[in-house]
Structure 1
Amino acid sequence: MSATEFAAAQWTRATGTGVDPHEYRRVTNGLASLTDWGPSFVRTGHNYLRRAQDAASPLAEGEYLLMAARWFHLATLAPSPEAHRAAAAADDALGQALTVLETDARRVSSEGFTGWLRGPADAPGTVVVVTGFDSAKEEFLDLTSALLARGLAVFAVDGPGQGVLAATTTFVPDYERVVGRIIDALGVARIGLVGLSLGGYFAARTAALEPRVAALATVSGPFRLDWEQLPAPVRDIMAIRTGSGAAAHEFARQVDLAALAPRITVPLLVVDGEQDVIPGVTNGEHLARLAPRGSYLSVPHGDHLLGNARPDWLSHLSNHLVHTLTGVTA
Structure 2
Amino acid sequence: MIELSFLDAPGLAAGFIAETRPRAHGAGIDPYEYDRVTAAVDSLLHWPDACRTAALAHRARAERAAARGRRRTAGQHHRLAARWFHLAALLPDPDRERAAAVAAEADRSMGDSLALLEPRARRISGEDYAGWLRLPTEQAGQEGAGVPLVVLVPGMDSAKEEFHRPADALLDRGLAVLAVDGPGQGVLAAGPALGPDHRHALGRALDHTLDHTLDRALDHTSDGARVDPDRIAVIGLSLGGHLAADFAAHDPRVRAAALVSGPYRLDWDALVPFVTATLTRRCGDEAAARAFTARVDLAALAPRLRHLPLLLVEGGRDRIPGVTNADALTADLPHAELLHVPHGNHLLGNALPDWLPDTADWLADTLATTGPRA
Query: Shorter-chain TM-score category?
Result: over 0.9
Which amino acid in 2 is paired with 1:321?
A: L
Could you tell me which of 71, 86, 90 is aligned with 1:58? 71
For residues 102-181 of structure 1, what are the structure 2 equivalents within 5 Å? 102-120=118-136, 123-181=146-204
Tell me the residue number matched to 1:194. Answer: 235
Could you tell me which of 71, 74, 89 is aligned with 2:84? 71
* CA distance in structure 1 between the aligned counterparts of 2:155 and 2:42, rounded to whole angstroms: 29
Tell me the residue number matched to 1:266. Answer: 308
Could you tell me which of 186, 204, 219 is aligned with 2:245? 204
Which amino acid in 2 is paired with 1:192?
A: A
* CA distance in structure 1 between the aligned counterparts of 2:319 and 2:16, rounded to whole angstroms: 17
Q: Paired residues, what number?
A: 327
Shift of 1:289: 5.3
SS of 2:318's partner is coil
Tell me the residue number matched to 2:218. Answer: none
C-alpha contact 1:271 1:284 (8 A) present in aligned 2: no
Greater displacement, 287-296 / 216-225: 287-296
* CA distance in structure 2 between the aligned counterparts of 1:219 and 1:260, rounded to whole angstroms: 16
Could you tell me which of 114, 130, 140 is aligned with 1:98? 114
Shift of 1:182: 2.0
1:88 aligns with 2:88: no
1:291 aligns with 2:333: yes
Which amino acid in 2 is paired with 1:118?
A: R
SS of 1:313's partner is helix
Which amino acid in 1 is paired with 2:208?
A: A
Shift of 1:86: 1.7
Against the structure 1 CA distance between its residues 228 and 33, is the aligned structure 2 distance closer, same or farther, given a 3 Å change threshold?
A: closer
Could you tell me which of 179, 185, 201 is aligned with 2:208? 185
SS of 1:271's partner is strand
1:221 aligns with 2:262: yes
For residues 313-324 of structure 1, what are the structure 2 equivalents within 5 Å? 313-324=355-366
Per-residue Cα deviation, 1:200-240 (whole angstroms, up to 9, x for no partner): 00111121111110111000000111112222221111111
Structure 1 residue ranges (4+ consecutive) displaced by more than 6 angstroms after TM superposition: none
Shift of 1:288: 6.6
Shift of 1:184: 1.2
User: Structure 2: where are the runs of 5+ without partners?
Assistant: 1-8, 211-227
Tell me the residue number matched to 1:306. Answer: 348
Shift of 1:125: 0.3
Which amino acid in 1 is paired with 2:248?
A: A
Shift of 1:272: 0.4
Which amino acid in 2 is paired with 1:157?
A: V
* CA distance in structure 2 between the aligned counterparts of 1:30 and 1:211, rounded to whole angstroms: 49
C-alpha contact 1:263 1:291 (8 A) present in aligned 2: no
Shift of 1:326: 1.3
* CA distance in structure 2 between the aligned counterparts of 1:176 and 1:78, rounded to whole angstroms: 24
Against the structure 1 CA distance between its residues 51 and 87, is the aligned structure 2 distance closer, same or farther, given a 3 Å change threshold?
A: same
Which amino acid in 2 is paired with 1:295?
A: E
Tell me the residue number matched to 1:257. Answer: 298
C-alpha contact 1:288 1:296 (8 A) present in aligned 2: no
User: Aligned residues: percent identity?
Assistant: 47
C-alpha contact 1:129 1:193 (8 A) present in aligned 2: yes
Against the structure 1 CA distance between its residues 243 and 68, is the aligned structure 2 distance closer, same or farther, given a 3 Å change threshold?
A: same
Against the structure 1 CA distance between its residues 175 and 136, is the aligned structure 2 distance closer, same or farther, given a 3 Å change threshold?
A: same
* CA distance in structure 1 between the aligned counterparts of 2:300 and 2:48, rounded to whole angstroms: 40
TM-score computed with the length of structure 1 as normaliser:
0.94
SS of 1:222's partner is coil
Greater displacement, 170-179 / 15-24: 170-179
Against the structure 1 CA distance between its residues 259 and 5, is the aligned structure 2 distance closer, same or farther, given a 3 Å change threshold?
A: closer
Shift of 1:83: 3.1
* CA distance in structure 1 between the aligned counterparts of 2:250 and 2:171, rounded to whole angstroms: 27
SS of 2:300's partner is coil
Shift of 1:284: 4.2
